[in-house]
Structure 1
Amino acid sequence: MLKENEVKFYNQNGYLILKDKLDKKTLSDLKNSTTQLIEEFKKNQSTFIRDKNRNISKHGKMFLSNRCEDFPLMEKIY
């Protein structure tokens, strides 16, 4: 749970640095999942970039949900 001063700082600055909020295993799992997602993106990058009809900046969340077949890890995260 965030403290009142943390919420205020976030609202004023748009970010918050949280120290020691996640255990090492959770951080390791997050790092591994992020690395896997990046590697999946790299493998599919050519079609991902060239497909102008399904551009991430154009379609946002709908685009991401439709791309789960290309990036299996997205299904776990999204």
Structure 2
Amino acid sequence: MRLHVRAADSPGWRYALLMRDYLRADPDRRAAYLLLKRDLVDAAPHVADSGTARDPWFDEEYLRTEQWAAQTDWRP
């Protein structure tokens, strides 16, 4: 289990809430993220424990999440 602490109203706080809501709203992207996590565990269980192994996926999703936020008028 992982616990992330972010200051309210910080960019990290906003991004965490945005990604959470985006994945809840888009079952295809949620499934893609789950597949990524499973692939990481299969490839190297110790790597999957590192948040940095997922960073490229999140980097690629960033623009999609921001577009979704604008289209849906999402607010934290």
TM-score, scaled relative to structure 1: 0.31
Q: Computing the radius of gyration over CA atoms, which structure comes out larger, 1 or 2? A: 1
Higher helix share: 2
TM-score normalised by structure 2 residue count: 0.32
